[in-house]
Amino acid sequence: MACLRIAFCLVLVTFYGAVAQAIVPDYPTSDWKAVGRVGRQWPGNPPKYNGTGVVIGDRWVLTARHLLNDTPTKRIPDNVVRFWLEGKGSLTPRRVYVPPDLSADLALLEFAPRTFSEWYPPYRESDEMGKLAAVVGYGYTFENRGGKWVQKPNSDGVRRAGFNRISMATDIQLRMDFDVAGAPDRYGDGGPVEKECMVAGHDSGGPSLIRGQDGKWRVAGIHSAVADGITSGGRFYDVRVSRYIGWLDSILGRSEPFAWYNTAPCPLFGSLRLAAPRTTWIPRR
Ligand SMILES: [Ca+2]
């Protein structure tokens, strides 16, 4: 119970109401090869992974913003961020993007063009409700001991995947419940699907994927928070990716070649009497 209480407190105190989430029960998988681990590597230290991320394009990885925060409001520097992918090892993004909307628990990592050969594009439709989702992550797992879920020791760093049904779609979230035989069906969505699962610590940033009309799997949700701890009937919340397609396209849709720019305050313009831009463009790298 102590563990669950701590998880609940984290939900309360973190800026985005989110806690690093793993897939429960223990369903290790060799599928979903475009899902990797997200973390940080400070100078002089080995990489430390605290979450999951999913490749959504030849150089793009989508993950949860709260994984990249040092404090509730301060992000770690881009060059400290790491993404580990099976067959690729540890990679450093060229740049990290976050949505202007602070309530969106999303971050987009950009790598060199053609870094990745396999990915799942974002889901664009708003008909997610009721669809079957593959739920993938690199976090911890738990085992059911007499009705109580107990974390298995040293259980992170394994890719796991189960399924669930999208049972509630809010303006910014997709919500699912962990149906277990004998436990209350919290969202009344008809009980467990095959390999019904929920997320736990370090699954944050991992994807829930649903099939598009073309039959291909697409990233519909990014694991963000759990509502009741790891328990039968527990709920978990994903960021609803389709609601942020405009933001994603504003970055993914840029034409190449791209020069690296950033905005910085320009004191010279700020002192002018007439309306003038208060930022200027400077070469980033
Ligand atoms: Ca369910």
The CATH number given to whatever domain includes residue 193 is: 2.40.10.10
145 CA to centre of ligand 1 in angstroms: 20
Please give the single-letter amino acid code of residue 149.
W
198 CA to centre of ligand 1 in angstroms: 8
Q: Determine, yes or no, domain membership for 269.
A: no
Identify the sign of the CA torsion 110, 17, 27, 68: positive
| C-alpha neighbours within 13 Å on the C-beta side of residue 55 | 23
Q: Determine, yes or no, domain membership for 127.
A: yes
204 CA to centre of ligand 1 in angstroms: 18
- Count of domains forming the chain: 2
Q: What percent of the chain is predicted at pLDDT more than 70?
A: 81
Q: Determine, yes or no, domain membership for 261.
A: no
- Same domain (yes/no): 182, 237: yes
Q: What pLDDT band is residue 13 in, cutting at 50, 70 and 90?
A: very low
Of the listed ranges 23-27, 34-38, 118-122, 159-163, the least confidently predicted one is: 23-27
Taking the C-alpha atoms of residue 181 and residue 30, their distance in angstroms, rounded to an integer, is 27
- Same domain (yes/no): 43, 76: yes
Q: Determine, yes or no, domain membership for 166.
A: yes
Q: Determine, yes or no, domain membership for 274.
A: no
Mean confidence (pLDDT) of the chain: 85
- Same domain (yes/no): 8, 93: no
What average pLDDT does this structure show over 150-174? 96
- Same domain (yes/no): 17, 134: yes
252 CA to centre of ligand 1 in angstroms: 32
235: β partners: 177
pLDDT at 252 over 90: yes
- Same domain (yes/no): 224, 85: no
pLDDT at position 22: 57
pLDDT at position 190: 84
Q: Determine, yes or no, domain membership for 138.
A: yes
95 CA to centre of ligand 1 in angstroms: 36
285 CA to centre of ligand 1 in angstroms: 46
Of the listed ranges 13-22, 80-89, 146-155, the least confidently predicted one is: 13-22
Which residue range is the domain that position 88 belongs to? 35-119+245-252
Of the listed ranges 183-192, 202-211, 262-271, the least confidently predicted one is: 262-271
Identify the sign of the CA torsion 16, 18, 19, 22: negative
- Same domain (yes/no): 54, 11: no
26 CA to centre of ligand 1 in angstroms: 16
Asked if 75 and 96 touch (Cβ cutoff 8 Å), the reply is yes
- Same domain (yes/no): 92, 228: no
